[in-house]
């Protein structure tokens, strides 16, 4: 069964990790803690440098094993996330075979992401939190697992123009909703952070910030639109999560 790691635990056991996991972690640390301090997600950078992030590795994201890996990691993480620090986040890097690297477009990764999220949900035996809408087109909807709401982020090897969503491996990050209690549009820190992140995105990406980037609960905001951003400004007209979840339900009847 896949394990949950802190950065210190990875460093301590680094030589025991498979080669691809060593490579993936080094690439992640070099990206988020680059010497030029250019990475746009300031909370993510602070979280990494402060030891608040937790890490996990999963199988090929096309496989059912990946869904089980990630469900297991989320179950572990939900029980300890509040003890990891103010800028908590769970980073999961998937084994990404050469075939997937060389023959998968951003659009295909987008479909894979939503399919994987639906398969992860199928592993969840806990009831949906009462205070979170079950309808993705409601501004209070958020992906939930084991009773915990998360903001979900996906990066892929195919992203080029939107460098902030590029990573050499298929990668997911789950940020607990409670992290945003002090970082949102109603707090001075949140407004300052938003301005800084937008400026960094302008410098980091070759395209303007995606119009879907807004705060949770903000009027007109739909969280699912931010989970996977394409290289352009396109967004699916309907949330793929519910469509795939309903399809999976029909298949298993």
pLDDT 10s digits, 9-60: 999 999 999 999 999 999 999 999 999 999 999 999 999 999 999 999 999 9
- The CB-side HSE value for 130 (13 A sphere, CA atoms) comes to 0
Q: In the β-sheet with 5-6, what is the strand arrangement from edge to edge? A: 5-6, 53-58, 89-94, 171-176, 148-155, 143-145
- How many domains are contained in the chain? 1
Tell me the C-alpha distance between 241 and 119, whole Å: 10
Whether the predicted model's global pTM rises above the 0.95 cut: no
pLDDT grade, residue 155 (50/70/90)?
very high
Which residues span the domain enclosing 107?
5-251
Question: What is the pLDDT, as a whole number, of residue 253?
Answer: 35
120 Cβ contact partners less than 8 Å away, ≥ 6 residues apart:
67, 70, 71, 74, 145
pLDDT grade, residue 251 (50/70/90)?
very low
- Asked if residue 40 lies in contact with residue 201, where contact means CB atoms within 8 angstroms, the answer is yes
pLDDT 10s digits, 195-231: 888 899 999 999 998 888 876 656 677 889 999 999 9
């Amino acid at each position: 069964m896949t394990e949950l790691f802190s950065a210190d635990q990875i460093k301590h056991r680094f030589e025991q990790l498979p080669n691809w996991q060593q490579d993936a972690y080094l690439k992640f640390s070099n990206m988020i803690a680059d010497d030029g301090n250019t990475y746009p997600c300031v909370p993510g950078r602070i979280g990494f440098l402060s030891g608040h992030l937790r890490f996990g590795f999963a199988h090929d994201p096309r496989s059912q094993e990946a869904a089980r890996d990630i469900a297991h990691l989320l179950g572990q993480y939900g029980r300890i996330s509040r003890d990891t620090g103010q800028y908590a986040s769970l980073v999961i890097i998937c084994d990404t075979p050469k075939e997937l690297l060389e023959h998968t477009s951003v659009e295909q990764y987008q479909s894979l992401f939503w399919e994987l999220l639906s398969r992860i949900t199928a592993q969840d035996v806990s009831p949906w939190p009462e205070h979170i809408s079950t309808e993705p087109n409601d501004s209070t909807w958020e992906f939930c697992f084991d009773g915990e709401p998360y903001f979900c982020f996906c990066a892929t090897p195919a992203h080029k123009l939107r460098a902030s969503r590029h990573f050499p491996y298929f990668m997911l990050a789950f940020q607990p909703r409670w992290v945003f209690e002090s970082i949102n549009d109603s707090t001075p820190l949140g407004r300052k952070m938003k301005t800084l992140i937008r400026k960094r995105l302008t410098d980091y990406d070759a395209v303007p910030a995606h119009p879907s980037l807004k705060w949770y609960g903000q009027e007109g905001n739909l969280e699912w639109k931010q989970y996977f951003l394409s290289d352009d400004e396109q967004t699916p007209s309907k949330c793929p999560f519910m469509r795939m979840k309903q399809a999976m339900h029909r298949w298993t009847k």
